[in-house]
Amino acid sequence: MLDFTSNSNRILVTAPRFITEITQKEIESLGYACKKEKDNALSLRGSLEDAMKLNLWLRTAHKVLFHLFSGQAENIDEFYDVVKDFEWETIIPSEGYFSIQSAVHNDTIRDTRLPNLKAKDAIVDRLTEINGLRPNSGPDTEQTVLFVYWNKSSVSVYVDTAGTPLNRRGYRHQPHKAPLQETLAAALILQSEWDPTSHFVNPMCGSGTLAIEAFLIGTKTAPGLLRTNFGFMHILPYQADVWNKLVEEAKKVQIPTTEGMIVASDKDPEAIAAAKGNAERAGAAAHILFRVTDFRDSLIPVGKGTVMMNPEYGERLGEKAALEKVYGAIGSFFKRHCNGYSCYVVSSSKELLEKIRMTPSSTKNFLNAKMDVQLIGYEVFDRNELAVTSESSPKRKLRSRKKPD
Ligand SMILES: C[S@@+](CC[C@H](N)C(=O)[O-])C[C@H]1O[C@@H](n2cnc3c(N)ncnc32)[C@H](O)[C@@H]1O
């Protein structure tokens, strides 16, 4: 029988392509050695408690798969037998609910729904024979989620301890337009190496994902603290006291606010309303300075910091010609108003990015919902600009956009 407390169980952490390097650093900083298995997966060894800890702390991962068993199957009948042989009665409660996802590369399988259906039948048949009760199954990922990897004749079955993917943190009920995935927003900020003792400015904030993720990073908030449900909570080996201990430890690490300011603005009042609602749910609303304003009028706190912008890029929202002017204005905004800041633009349009007319200091590729995007960095050297104190933020100094006449 599988020992869930042993630290030699195989764990696979998945993250979108291009992000795995960042995810690997996150895993290593939690004290685990891990290695890259594929473009979108990393492997390590650990217990169910370790898997819970990864769910609690990882900002850039999507799934944390805990290995249950492996076997050999040339065809669908052998596949059914391999799955039915496993002791499901030790994993799924007799009246539980489970969902199956799979990645199948086997020449005998044309329709990938077939292995899911067969695996479901095998589990239901076994549990009905043993418990006399039939568990339910379906597409809902709110309870036990199983992941089947069948490659040629080799079958590996995992429990997805996240259940609903970790990019769904739970705070974003109001996505507004073209939002970044929460995990991608976190990856962009980690890639930028923003120092949370400095400021983080997010003009064009949309639904506020970057500003909220900056708050979570800056306050050392484990993103899993925002969720009340994970896949691991629905399997029989789960021990609530172990999870509660991890949660308590994470709360002790958390700091109440960031040392630097977090500023988020958008020209659309509806975006700011959505961002405020999302920030409220993430516990960040009181710590982010929200403004409805054009990015050219964005407040830039005096001192060092990072500006990160995710403008529209023409393919989904705005039109390219109009956007050329916007990108040109972004370059001017950085040069004139962001002295001493590291500036970043996230966009999928190389053509539009060229309109910024600044020499990039860094370029990194990412994927946003299957679309290639780039994070381009620009350094703006400090010109020791004039500082004024904003009436809306009396305690902290804000740099004015224009010099007085
Ligand atoms: C691609 S969306 C940003 C999405 C955001 N990263 C998120 O995760 O929700 C671009 C945003 O830029 C805003 N925007 C466009 N032009 C602007 C301008 N001139 N000044 C300020 N905001 C602008 C839009 O209202 C929109 O919310």
Q: Do domains 9-160 and 182-221+255-399 have the same CATH topology?
A: no
Contact (Cβ atoms closer than 8 angstroms) between residue 355 and residue 347: no
Domain boundaries, the chain: 9-160, 182-221+255-399
Residue type for 143, please?
Q
Per-residue pLDDT of the chain (405 residues; tens, 9 = 90+): 899 999 999 999 999 999 999 999 999 999 999 999 999 999 999 999 999 999 999 999 999 999 999 999 999 999 999 999 999 999 999 989 999 999 999 899 988 899 999 999 999 999 999 999 999 999 999 999 999 999 999 999 999 999 999 999 999 887 777 889 999 999 999 999 899 999 999 999 999 999 999 999 999 999 999 999 999 999 999 999 999 999 999 999 999 999 999 999 999 999 999 999 999 999 999 999 999 999 999 999 999 999 999 999 876 555 788 899 999 999 999 999 999 899 999 999 999 999 999 999 999 999 987 889 999 999 887 766 444 434 444 344 555 444 333
> Could you tell me the two tokens for 89?
């009665």
Q: Which atom of ligand 1 is nearest to the CA of 209?
A: 8
User: Does domain 182-221+255-399 correspond to CATH entry 3.40.50.150?
Assistant: yes
Query: How far apart are the C-alpha atoms of 268 and 343, rounded to whole Å?
Result: 22
- Phi-psi label, residue 369: left if phi above 0, alpha if psi -120 to 50, beta otherwise: left
Taking the centre of ligand 1 as the mean of its atom positions, its distance from the CA of residue 180, in whole angstroms, is 11
Taking the centre of ligand 1 as the mean of its atom positions, its distance from the CA of residue 176, in whole angstroms, is 10
Model pLDDT, residue 313:
85
Produce one character per residue of 354-388: b if its CB has 16 or more CB atoms within 10 Å, e if not.
Answer: ebbebebeeebebbbeeeebbbbbbebeeeeeeee
Query: How far apart are the C-alpha atoms of 399 and 330, rounded to whole Å?
Result: 17
Produce one character per residue of 212-236: b if its CB has 16 or more CB atoms within 10 Å, e if not.
Answer: bbbbbbbbebbbbbbbeebbbbbbe
> Could you tell me the two tokens for 147?
């992941």
Residue nearest to atom 19 of ligand 1 (CA): 294
Model pLDDT, residue 193:
87
What DSSP designation does 302 have? Answer: S
Give the right CATH number for 9-160 from 1.20.970.10, 3.40.630.30, 3.30.2130.30, 3.60.15.10: 3.30.2130.30
Sign, CA dihedral 265-267-272-274, equals negative
C-beta of 349 in contact with ligand 1 (< 6 A)? no
Model pLDDT, residue 315:
62
Model pLDDT, residue 4:
97
Query: How far apart are the C-alpha atoms of 74 and 152, rounded to whole Å?
Result: 7
- Phi-psi label, residue 156: left if phi above 0, alpha if psi -120 to 50, beta otherwise: beta
C-beta of 267 in contact with ligand 1 (< 6 A)? yes
Instruction: Indicate the top mutation candidate among 204, 276, 299, 316 to test ligand 1's pocket, ranked by most ligand atoms within 8 A of CB.
Output: 204
Instruction: Indicate the top mutation candidate among 201, 272, 312 to test ligand 1's pocket, ranked by most ligand atoms within 8 A of CB.
Output: 312
For 125, residues 6+ apart whose C-beta sits below 8 A from its C-beta are: 84
